[in-house]
Chain A
């Protein structure tokens, strides 16, 4: 290790200690101060890893990482950045937590959620065992510019041929990352979709051939641009997946079939998550586990350890019970709404929309959420909007046809518990990133007192 890295390491550890004795639990701060002092510290620690999986993509990183961690940590110790601290400083903070003062990493295996723009910066000095790409969708335009740019970053990050790439074969953009690779490229996809929809007008940024610009032809859509597609000029098409999934919405079982292995194993997993987008996350995690050589029986055992991370359909029991779901882009929000649609009881839906940097300052994406489709199927008694952009959301609902009298705007997040203490089965709270952790606290307190 470089001398400078030692100083960084000690400073980072000291910061972590100081935070702990002052009762704060900053996830990234130790990494931030250590990284400032010692730019190569992350590299010095990471290169000690013997096994490392990085999970990236637009949506589902946190859930997929948590599921994968449940499988992997069944009988071995693995590091993970729980809580979604997925930038350089967050990764460093995770590594610091498992290193000695002399810079030795005590746990040599890590499953890490990594931001799309951070990935190529890390792979410039460290090659993980495997990289998983969940999907490539429109996200926070003012941060990255455009989806093309994200694709360039991911392509750069997954270019090393010695790293296994596991990617979503049903998403043409995520799939395209595999085109120019030969070895160690694996696709997963759903061979049978629980709800095949061709009529939904979801956002389809990827619905064009990247080679010739032609609109892709779809046999069916599953969500967003994800489905069974091909270029009419024959440039590319949905690949036969290495790991094919079939989800049974009634039993909640995910059947996995390995098409390219001989003999091809078939096994079933009891899914702990809701909504089709989460079944993708589950299938993605299973695919990586299989690529790493984890047996189906160990996966079946490990899934029991899965705990929903904050805001990933996190349930707060009570009367009514409240469910907190993160929304950060239209495709994710549409997926959450579709999962809510499955609930046929009377409900309240709340949108908590902030526009800080971490949320995306541009809220035009609210107009890409398919409220028009959701509203008639929602069985929803009332709608509540909160956050700095509550009024933008209220307008969005009004222009989608929701009765203006059933839309309530509350000024403070703390008012949400009272405002939702009504006689319904479930209250759904859809929140952008910066409101998520405050809401987590408020809901936990509210349920205790209520």
Chain B
């Protein structure tokens, strides 16, 4: 049976601050090269969201103003969202989208902007923005030829939770600059502050997400190898420039 996948992009007109469509373009391209019939389904503000129709969801980052609009819009779907996540819906949430998964975002004034509360997680505005290249060791480090994930982070918020992180920080700040954790990995959710965008230089993570989506939709998750020389050179270049040495 031909494998088909629908990648839902939530509010592309609002949440595309760090070129999130770069992540989608990588997923699409890598799926198509494996003969998977993949399509991107953009959901714009005001459109009805049907989580049953999604095999994967991308929740990107926006400015504070845009983030607030999205938070309000999505709150109405909270229960549907929770159910889908319990069922294992693969979700990639980046930057502002990642923060939105939590209970609230606390402003410097003490005011708490409510999140979707899909995870027991909170974010607090910090002093300095945490900006720069980042390398982490992925907790699913058996998934590819490299154990690391690389990219760029730029966030003012400090996020705290007790779930397994996406990885442990090798160089950079991560969730809060203190506990060496970066992102979150829970059921089908991958949440992270790494943009840059995330997937082009981390093809092992891209394939991991595609496999999750295939399994979630009941297909076999076998994927042919691709020629990723350029991807790994770009990945290695970041590690070299950050002077990260690793064995694999």
Contact = CB atoms under 8 A, between A and B. Distances in A.
Interface of A: 141-142, 145-148, 204, 207-208, 213, 215, 361-368, 388, 391-392, 394-396, 398-400, 404, 407
7 nearest A-B residue pairs (beta carbon): A367-B19, A367-B22, A391-B234, A364-B18, A146-B63, A364-B19, A395-B200
A218 to B, nearest CB: 12
Interface in B1-53: 13, 16-19, 21-22, 25-26, 29, 45
B183 to A, nearest CB: 17
Interface stretch (B78-86, B99-107, B225-233): B225-233
B191 interface: no
A404 B63 contact: no
Contacts of B248: none
A392 B201 contact: yes
Contacts of B17: 141, 146
A166 B50 CA distance: 47
Interface in B211-235: 227, 230-231, 233-234
Contact of A207 (B13, B29, B233): B13
Contact of B69 (A213, A395, A399): A213
Given A392-B234, A404-B227, A145 B129 contact: yes
Contacts of B227: 404
Nearest to B63: A146
6 contacts: A207-B13, A215-B45, A362-B18, A364-B197, A391-B230, A396-B200
A394 B230 contact: yes
A142 B19 CA distance: 14
A269 B132 CA distance: 46
Contact of A361 (B132, B195, B233, B234): B132
B208 interface: no
B236 to A, nearest CB: 9
A58 B201 CA distance: 29
A215 B13 CA distance: 9
Given A145-B129, A204-B13, A404-B227, 11 more contacts: A146-B17, A146-B64, A213-B65, A213-B69, A364-B152, A364-B197, A367-B197, A368-B16, A388-B241, A395-B230, A395-B234
B26 A399 contact: yes
Contact of B230 (A141, A148, A398): A398
Given A142-B154, A148-B63, A215-B13, A363 B196 contact: yes
Contacts of B18: 141, 362, 364
A365 to B, nearest CB: 7
Contact of A399 (B63, B152, B154, B200): B200
A147 B195 CA distance: 18
B113 interface: no
A117 to B, nearest CB: 15
B195 A364 contact: yes
A366 B16 CA distance: 13
Given A363-B152, A394-B234, A368 B19 contact: yes
A182 to B, nearest CB: 27
A208 B65 CA distance: 11
A367 B66 CA distance: 20
B230 A362 contact: no
Nearest to B62: A146
B25 A362 contact: no
Given A142-B154, A391-B234, A399-B29, A361 B196 contact: no
B19 A366 contact: yes
B164 to A, nearest CB: 26
A365 B63 contact: no
B58 to A, nearest CB: 13
A396 B63 CA distance: 24
B237 interface: yes
